[in-house]
Structure 1
C-alpha cells in the first residue's frame, strides 16, 4: 500500500539519519543557539535536519511510488508546493538555531512561507461547521496567513520537554491522516505518512533522555506542515474546510499559546517573551515526573483530536451531545487545571473581575439612590430638613455619615462614627455655596469607608450629586417633587407641610 511504503521510507530514513546528524553536529560543536542548557548536558538543537530530510525522502517516495495519481488532479503540484514552503520554514528555523534571528525577521520569513503555500494552492476559501459553510471570500489570504503563522509559533512554544512536541505532532498527524482518508484526500494522507514516519523515527532519539532536540528548525517545519495538512486534509470540497478537525487536532498547542499570551499580559511582561509557565512546565512544578507529564500531554492531545473528529463526522444528534458535553467538560477541566497547576494569574484576575462586577453593580445602585435623594432634597422645607434627609439616607447611599453644616462647625467630627470603622474612614467635604459673601459657608460633610478605589470614587460621585442638590435648594425655588420609592423624607417629628410618604 503506498501510504505504508511512504511511512516506512520516512521512518527508516529518520532512524538512520538522526544518529549521524548527532555525531556530526557534536563533533563540530554545532549545538545550536544556547538557551540555558547546563554544561553537563549539552544537547544539539538541530533536530530539524533529520526530520526535514526524512520527510523529504518520504514525499519523494510518494511522488515516485505507485498509486499517487489516485489522489486526484495535480498531486505533484501539492507535494512540491508543501515541500517548497516547508523547506523555506525549515531554513529560517535553522538560521535561528545557529544565529538567533530577530523576532521580526522570523515573522517576516514565516509570512513569506505562508504566502508561498497560498500561491501553491493551499488556502482557506470556506469554513464548514454543523453542516453550514461560510465563504471567506476576500479574507482567504489573511485567514491562511494567520492560521499558518499562528500554528507554527504555537507548536514552537510547546517544544519544552523531551519528546513532547514530537509526540503531539504524531497524534495530530495520525488524526489528520485518518480524516484525509475518510474524505478521499490521498495526497494529504501520503504527506502525513511521510512526516509521521519521520517523527516516529526521530522520537527514538528525542524521547527522554533526549540525544537531540527539534530546535526551531524542527518545530517550525513540523508546525508549518501540521498547519497545512490539518486544514487541507479536512477539506470536503474545493472550498469547505471542516473547521472542528484542524482546530481541535491542534487544540493543545493553540490553547497553551493563548494562555501564555493572557498570562504575560496580566503580568505586564512582553507577550511574545519566554517564560517557564507553560502547561508542561507547570506539570513538572506540581510534582509530575517528566515522562508522565509528556504522556499526559499526549493523551490530552489525543482526546481533543477524537473530539474534533466526532464533531465533524458524527450524526447531528451525537454532535449536539458531544459539543455540549465537551464544552462543559472543557470548562471544568480548565478551571480545575488553573487551580491545580498554580496559574494564580487567572485566579487573581477572576477574583478582581468578580469583586469588580459586584462593586460596579453596587456603585450603580448607589448613584441611582443618590439621584432619588437629590429629588427629595429639592423639596425640603429647611436646612434642618435637609440634614434629616441626609442622615436617614446615608446608609442607603453607602455612606457612614452625611450632613450639611457650616464649614467651621464641629458637627460631623470623626467621633460621630462607630468605633469599629472610625479609624479607617475618609472624610469628604463639598462646598454648596459658591461665590457667597458669607465667611463661613455651608458645606456637605460626608464620611465613607474606602476599602478600594471604586468605593472611594463612588462616594465622591455621590457627594457631588448631593452637594449639587443642596446648592440648587439654596439658590433656586422650592418646587415640590414626588418622592421616589425607598427614600426617607427625614424624621423631624411632625411631617413638614406638603410632605407625603
Structure 2
C-alpha cells in the first residue's frame, strides 16, 4: 500500500513536469526570459530558462499529493519557494551576488526554524552554522555545475534516488515522498533538457534543486553513528562537492577569486565537465561519465549503513585521496593545454 503511494507521487510529479515544462518554455519566449549565446556559452541560439519554475511547480504538486506533511517538510517548501522567487527574478534581470546570498540565508533561516538542522556537534550554534554553510554551499555548487545539457538535472535525479532509497530502508516516510517527488519533476524536465537541450533550468532551477537536496541530506536520519551520518551525504553529493572544491582551490591559487562575492559571480570553463571535454570527450560522453561517477558514489552511500563504521572510515579516506588526486590530475591537464596554446602562438 505504501509503495503504491510512493509510485503515485512519483508519477504525479513526472506527468506534471512533462506538462509544465513546455508551458514555461512558451512563457520564457513570450517575456524574453532567455539565455543568449556568449563567448563562454556552449549553445548557439537563445534558450528559454524557465525550466526550473516547471520543476518547482511539479515538485510542489507531487509533494502535496502525498498528504504526508510535517514541520520540516513545510519549512523546506517555504524555503524552496523563496529560492525560486529570487531565482526567477535573477533569471529575468541579473541580481547582485550579495542580494542572492541574502535571500539564500533567509531561506536557510526558515528551514532551520522548522527543525532542519544537523545534529553532529554538542553546541547548537555550531550545528546551525554548519547547516547554513552546507545548504548555501550545495545550493551554489549545483548552480556552478549547471554548465552542460542535462548535467545538473541528472546529478540531482541521481542524488534524489539515493536519498529515497536510504529513506525507504530506514522508514523515513516523509523523506521518501519529498525525494521521489523531486525525482519525478527532475526526470520530466530532463526529457527536454538532455543534449541537445530545448530548455534550460536557469539559476532558479539549479539553486532550487541544490537547496532542496541539501536540506533533505541534512534533515535525514542516516545513522546513529555521527561519522556515518556525515559520510553518507558527502558521498551522495560528492560530485558537487568535488567540482566546487576543485574550482575554488584552483581559482584562489591562480588569483582569479579573492572574495566571497567573486566566488559567487566568477564564471569560467574550468569545471570538471569542461576539463573532461578538453580531454577529448563529447558533451554527451562527459555528462554520462559524470552520471556514472555520481551513481557509483550513491550506491556506495546506500551500502554503508549495512556495512558499518569501518566501511565509512575506509570510504571517507578513499574519497579524500581521490579528491586530492583528481584536483592534481585535472590541474595538470589545464597546465598542459595552456602550454600547448602558448607554443602555437
User: Normalising to structure 1: TM-score of the pair?
Assistant: 0.61
Name the counterpart of 1:4: 7
Is residue 101 from structure 1 mapped to residue 95 from structure 2 by the alignment? yes
Distance 1:317 1:148, change over 3 A: closer
Q: Which residue, 52, 60, 67 being the options, matches 2:64? A: 60
Q: Is the 8 A contact 1:114 1:145 kept in 2?
A: yes
Select the residue among 47, 66, 74 that pairs with 1:43: 47
Evaluate the alpha carbon distance shift between residue 241 and residue 139 of structure 1 in structure 2; reply closer, same or farther with a 3 A threshold: farther
How many Å separate the matches in 2 of 1:7 and 1:159? 24
Please say if residues 234 and 242 of structure 1, whose CA atoms lie closer than 8 Å, have aligned partners that are also in contact. yes
* Deviation readout 1:317-372 (Å, 9 max, x if unpaired): 54455455555555545544443x32569x9xxxxxxxxxxxxxxxxxxxxxxxxx
- 1:117 alignment counterpart: 111
The residue aligned with 2:245 is 258
- Alpha-carbon contact 2:28-2:49 (below 8 Å) kept: no
The 1:321–1:269 alpha-carbon spacing in structure 2 relative to 1, beyond 3 Å, is closer
The aligned counterpart of 1:342 is: 334
1:151-166 matched pairs, under 5 angstroms? 151-166=138-153
- In the TM superposition, 1:194-205 aligns within 5 A as 194-205=181-192
Within the alignment, does 1:216 sit opposite 2:203 as a pair?
Answer: yes
Gaps of 5+ in 1: 69-74, 128-133, 348-501
**Helix, strand or coil at the partner of 2:239:** helix
- Distance, in Å, in 2 between the alignment partners of 1:118 and 1:62 is 23
Q: Superposition pairs for residues 326-475 of structure 1, below 5 Å?
A: 327-328=320-321, 331-339=324-332, 341-342=333-334
Which residue number corresponds to residue 270 of structure 2? 277
Higher relative contact order (CA 8 A, sep 6+): 2
Structure 2: unaligned runs, 5 residues or longer: 340-345
SS of residue matched to 1:342: helix
Counterparts in 2 of 1:241 and 1:97: CA distance versus 1, 3 Å: farther
Find the counterpart in structure 1 of residue 217 from structure 2. 230
SS in 1 for 2:198: coil
Partner of 1:147: 134
Partner secondary structure for residue 48 of structure 2: coil
Once superposed, which parts of structure 1, at least 4 consecutive aligned residues long, lie more than 6 Å away?
none
2:177 to 180, 186, 190: 190
Larger strand share, 1 or 2 = 1
Note if contact 1:234-1:246 (Cα within 8 Å) is conserved in structure 2.
no
Q: Displacement of 1:261 after TM fit?
A: 1.3
Superposition deviation, residue 233 in structure 1:
2.4
Quote the offset at 1:11 in angstroms.
0.3
Is this contact kept in 2: 1:59–1:79, CA < 8 A?
Answer: no
Q: How many equivalent pairs are there?
A: 327
Aligned counterparts of 2:237 and 2:42: Cα–Cα separation in 1: 31
- What is the Cα-based RMSD across aligned positions, in Å? 2.5
1:109-157 per-residue CA deviation (whole Å, 9 max, x = no partner) reads 1000000000111011x23xxxxxx434321221111111111011110
CA contact (8 A) 2:149 2:193 kept: yes
**Of 119, 125, 129, which aligns to 1:138?**
125
* Separation of aligned partners in 2, 1:138 and 1:39: 44
Give the direction of change, closer, same or farther, for the CA distance of 1:41–1:150 in structure 2 (3 Å limit): same
* Alpha-carbon spacing, 1:275–1:187, altered in 2? closer, same or farther (3 Å): same
The residue matched to 2:66 in structure 1 has which SS?
Answer: helix
Counterparts of 1:220 and 1:168 in 2: how far apart (Å)? Answer: 13
For 1:120 and 1:326, how far apart are their aligned partners in 2?
32
Q: Distance in 1 between matches of 2:233 and 2:274?
A: 25
Aligned-residue offset at 1:34? 7.0
The answer for the alignment partner of 1:83 in structure 2 is 77
The structure with the larger Rg is 1
Contact 2:161 2:179 in 1 (8 A): yes
For residues 264 and 333 of structure 1, the distance between their equivalents in structure 2, rounded to whole angstroms, comes to: 15
